[in-house]
A and B are shown apart, each in its own frame.
Chain A
Amino acid sequence: MGNYLLRRILLAIPSLLGISIVLFTVLALAPGDPFEELATNPNVPPEVSAMLRKKFGLDDPVYVRYLSWLSAMAHGDWGYSFTSRVDVDQLILQRLPTTLVVIGSSQILAVLIALPIGIYAATRPYSIFDKIANTLAFIGFSLPTFFTGILLILVFSIWLGWLPFVYRADIPSSGWQFVWDHLKQTIMPVTVLGLFQGATLVRYVRSAVLDVIRLDYVTTARSKGLAERVVILKHVLRNALIPVVTLLALQMPTIFGGAIVTEQIFRVPGIGSLLIEAMQVNDTPVIMAVTFVFACLVVLSNLIADILYGWLDPRISYS
């Protein structure tokens, strides 16, 4: 197992290097200029943007810029945002808690919705409940988050006036009021993300449970006279969860990606909105750092999924 882990981590290094090269080249080839606002402002003499370009090495050839980025990264220096003149790691760290709260709660919400509904639907396949659940799941993952987000804002903020639609990371109140305020502003973004995720997950849970529930050992368990609840929870669920857990792990980076849109709509100051803003102003170091974090997450989630798979399914060995 240790051996396997080591091999996988060593293998991850060249793939991350490759990813970083591709990212860097694409960003370097993309049109736009981080100092565009300077260039269009008549009050700023061209020397200033020339000075800044030189300072940040923007006039160097691409490979020189890549190598200096790489060596800085290796030293733990994530780079420096052109627009806010702040270190990138600081920017990312500032936004990480918000992203984790919103993404984490939506993921939990998705699991909480998907598991019971998926299991219940699978134990009664083609019943009315199953059909309704299936239809809703279809609708759920067909509607894009930017649509449901705006719909929720329209209903709950504008028509009903119950919930705020501008997310604030630091709420001034404290105690229960803080919890309540926080809950109020998190409901909509978490619902949007959670329902979308949950809808996808329901179908996976349902089909996984359906696969397992027909197997002989389940029939054996039933014929032993075990209660249906025990059969489902103890015998069916553990085996059915294997593909679901893998899927969850593999989906982690996708959720970060999906959150970009939702964060923009609700003004959630998360990593996704940081990326969007950086892209709009061509703040290359920030784009590079955030996309690289996403790339690392993909590689890492793959690894976690593989390890979890082996742990859940004893038939798979890593030696």
Chain B
Amino acid sequence: MEDMKLRGLIDRVKTGKLSRRSFIRQMAAVGLAAPFANQLLSMGGVAMAQSKFQYKGTKRGGGGPLKVLWWQAPTLLNPHFAVGTKDQEASRIFYEPLAGWDEDGNLVPALAAEVPSLENGGLAKDGLSVTWKLKKGVTWHDGKPFTADDCVFNWEYATDPATAAVSIGTYKNVKVEKIDSHTVKVIFSKPTPFWADAFVGTRGSLIPKHLFEPYKGAKSREAPANLKPVGTGPYMFVDFKPGDIVLGKLNPNYHQANKPFFDTIEMKGGGDAVSAARAVLQTGEYDYAWNMQVEDAVLKRLETGGKGRIEITAGGNIEHMQLNNTDPWTEVDGERSSLKTKHPFLTDPAVRSALNLLVDRDSVEKHIYGRTGKATANFVNNPSRYTSKNNTFELNIDKANKLLDDAGWKKGSDGIREKGGKKLKVVFQTSINQPRQKTQAIVKQACQKAGIDVEIKAVKASVYFSSDVGNPDTYTKFYCDLQMYTTTMPQPDPELFLNQFTSWEAATKANKWQGRNITRWKNDEYDATYKAAQNELDPIKRAALLIKCNDLAIKNVVVIPVVARPRVASVNAKLAPWLSGWDNDLWAVANWYRNA
């Protein structure tokens, strides 16, 4: 899509000729995530839409206890240290960011008075800064006022390397200035169309300056408030046992009227996903359970009791297969899959296209993931109604056979194709996880029919996903031909997500395999397009470039998307939670209520 066309579309939304929803749908059709599309609109001068969620509580409190179950137990309550989602979620009960993301990728203000836009002067036209107006009259749980100083402090705290905050990535490339007591300005070093990262969403929760100031830097772990949070959120801290339970009670001074609905909140951790689903869907002991990594057939059976239901929230996670562009079986300078090598046959476009035709995504969805994984041809995914119509997928063994025949890969006496002494034998690895092994079997079966021999390998998840440089079986080393896992899109902006196909991100021994380009695909056109997108001042032109990036990766079969994996939660039949695929599950816990 050309940027002129995009500009025209945005103008039509402005003048009301095109609905916001259909604009987002058109963006999604070319592979742009909903949040990013919304960002485009706001850059183009269209105010963000109102969210659909209706809070039906009429007074503060009186809703009894809210009991939520996380089968991975939270271990700490400082949002700047929250590595996994479990810790982010637990701290989100007490802390809030300036704004959060709703299910359509709209910003919803929390501690901000309004969402910055071009009209209200919050967004700079040159994309070099964003000015946040803070909500007035907000107090921390200990009664101290929340001001711009707190925002500035959070930036200082996170960017101090000695603090070892995991939020450093969000804050290190920006500068934060206080304008007045309730206005802060986030300054970027270069034009940044995706301005809503610092102070927003999963990494944006704010901690109070007056309690954490003495503990900035190397002393960060000694802060008493690490374990006894004092935030601005709807619930106040009662008790926390790391790895077990978090307890909170209603905040009588919460800054939103008539909220929260529940008197207390309890987040219990530990156990396993299946029994967590049971506790919500079958016995009703708990109201909500997070991340149901359970086979859909089991969930359906548990749901029949009528005590609870499964809620599916679309997000950006994608289970996909990667094709190695380097030779995993030859060692060069102490590393396999070295950039100095070339894969003997996976670099042949015919083989790549054939493999793309041999992944039976429909069967994977139907027989393995059910509602918890939607078959897809796209790498950037959205709710099903936004799924791209540009790319298609099919299982076509005949077509794959023909492609390989035409490319000169002849079947040998053992039924395996070969050309120039090279046999189409691949090793396909993934982590030990039942759905993944079943998917491997489906791929293997189809490949066999096309004369490709697939050897299946499954690695223990704790090894496969580790960053252990000494272990050959990690996914970043990719010492085999094909591999499959889910990559997450924690940030609703495709730029960071798409850097995993740029040549300078290639994972190598030199960068301890921490580069994000694991397929080691190198393509000058992609690099140029991506760089142009990064340096593009005009956000709309940049969008067009990012769309091209996405298309290049799919057309060249750098990866084979399998299923888009939405978030799956068990919810009590009467509970009305406001969920979003672009933020934490508890991002809007103040709005949760129970129907009578």
Contact = CB atoms under 8 A, between A and B. Distances in A.
Partners in one complex: yes
Contacts of B468: 31-33, 36
B462 A85 contact: no
Contacts of B83: 35, 37-38, 41, 44, 83
A282 B84 contact: no
Contact of B512 (A36, A46, A264, A282): A46
A153 B275 CA distance: 10
Given A38-B166, A165-B275, A168-B268, A277 B465 contact: no
A55 B164 CA distance: 9
Interface of A: 31-33, 35-49, 51-52, 55, 80-81, 83-86, 91, 94-95, 153, 157-158, 161, 164-166, 168-170, 172, 264-265, 267, 269, 273-274, 277, 280, 282
A97 B347 CA distance: 60
Interface stretch (B39-47, B68-76, B97-105, B144-152): B68-76
Contacts of B514: 39, 46
B71 to A, nearest CB: 9
B534 interface: no
Contact of A36 (B242, B244, B466): B466
Nearest to B73: A277
Contact of B497 (A42, A84, A164, A165): A42
B226 interface: yes
Given A32-B466, A170-B247, A269-B245, A161 B270 contact: no
A165 B169 contact: no
B247 A280 contact: no
B278 interface: yes
Contact of B168 (A39, A48, A80, A267): A48
Contacts of A33: 466-468
Given A45-B168, A161-B283, A36 B467 contact: yes
Given A48-B169, A166-B279, A31 B466 contact: yes
A45 B169 contact: yes
A279 to B, nearest CB: 9
A267 B271 contact: yes
26 contacts: A31-B460, A31-B466, A38-B83, A39-B466, A39-B514, A40-B465, A40-B467, A42-B516, A43-B490, A44-B83, A44-B166, A46-B511, A46-B512, A48-B161, A48-B168, A52-B164, A55-B164, A81-B75, A85-B226, A153-B275, A166-B268, A166-B279, A170-B245, A267-B271, A273-B243, A274-B243
Interface in B365-380: none
Interface string B476-493: 100000000000101100
B81 interface: yes
Contacts of B264: 172
Interface of B: 69, 73, 75-76, 78, 81, 83-84, 161-162, 164-166, 168-170, 172, 203, 221, 226-227, 239, 241-245, 247, 264, 268-272, 275, 278-279, 282-283, 285-286, 460, 462-463, 465-468, 471, 476, 488, 490-491, 496-497, 499-500, 511-512, 514, 516
A43 B460 CA distance: 24
A158 B302 CA distance: 11
A305 to B, nearest CB: 32
A43 B245 CA distance: 27
A114 B239 CA distance: 39
Contacts of A44: 83, 166, 168-169
Contacts of B497: 42
A101 B184 CA distance: 52
Q: Which of B164, B244, B465 has the most CB of A within 10 A?
A: B244
Contacts of B227: 86
Considering the complex of A and B, which 3 residue pairs feature the smallest CB-CB distances, nearest first? A39-B467, A269-B244, A84-B75
